[in-house]
């Protein structure tokens, strides 16, 4: 029969075997996990390159669009300056003669008003002499 030491050794060997089996299963699962992770990282790398190329081309197109916007903005600034110049020129061309015409018409009205007043006064004097 087995002695107490033999039974203890047998129990220790069984526990050790179960522990080794558990560790083997854990190592197999860990190996599978690592291989799947490697595949995912490789696929991500393959997908990331085209995405980065797309991002780079988008940035280039955006830069070209911004250059065009800068050109348009510069053209608008030039156009605004031209319109301002034309407006100032039109104002000076139109307002100068208009002021002169208004002054002349004011002077004519005033003279005519004074003539009427003078004619009225003369008319009253003539009526008063009769």
> Both 119 and 81 in a single domain?
no
> Both 111 and 66 in a single domain?
no
Banded pLDDT at 20 (limits 50, 70, 90) = very high
> Both 103 and 74 in a single domain?
no
Q: Is residue 129 part of a domain?
A: no
15-30 mean pLDDT: 96
* Cβ 82 vs Cβ 90: under 8 Å: no
Question: Which range marks the domain in which residue 19 is found?
Answer: 4-93
> Both 62 and 102 in a single domain?
no
Q: Is residue 130 part of a domain?
A: no
The whole-angstrom separation of Cα 96 and Cα 52 is 65
> Both 16 and 74 in a single domain?
yes
Q: What are phi and psi of 104, to 5 degrees?
A: -65, -45
Higher confidence at residue 122 or residue 69? Answer: 69
Banded pLDDT at 91 (limits 50, 70, 90) = confident
Q: Which of 9-13, 33-37, 64-68, 91-95 is the least confident region?
A: 91-95
> Both 102 and 85 in a single domain?
no
> Both 83 and 105 in a single domain?
no
The whole-angstrom separation of Cα 10 and Cα 4 is 10
CA 122 and chain centroid, separation: 79
Compute CA distances 8 → 1, 18, 21, whole Å: 13, 15, 20
pTM: 0.43
Write down how long the chain is.
130
């Amino acid at each position: 029969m087995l002695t107490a030491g033999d039974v203890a050794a047998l129990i220790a060997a069984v526990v050790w075997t179960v522990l080794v089996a558990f560790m083997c299963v854990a190592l197999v699962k860990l190996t599978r996990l690592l291989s799947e992770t490697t595949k995912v990282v490789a696929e991500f790398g393959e997908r990331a390159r085209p995405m980065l190329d797309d991002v780079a081309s988008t940035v280039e197109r955006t830069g070209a669009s911004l250059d065009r916007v800068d050109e348009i903005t510069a053209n608008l600034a030039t156009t605004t300056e031209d319109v301002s110049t034309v407006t100032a020129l039109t104002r000076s061309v139109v307002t100068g003669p208009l002021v002169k015409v208004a002054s002349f018409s004011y002077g004519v009205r005033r003279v005519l008003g004074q003539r009427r007043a003078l004619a009225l006064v003369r008319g009253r004097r003539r009526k008063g002499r009769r």
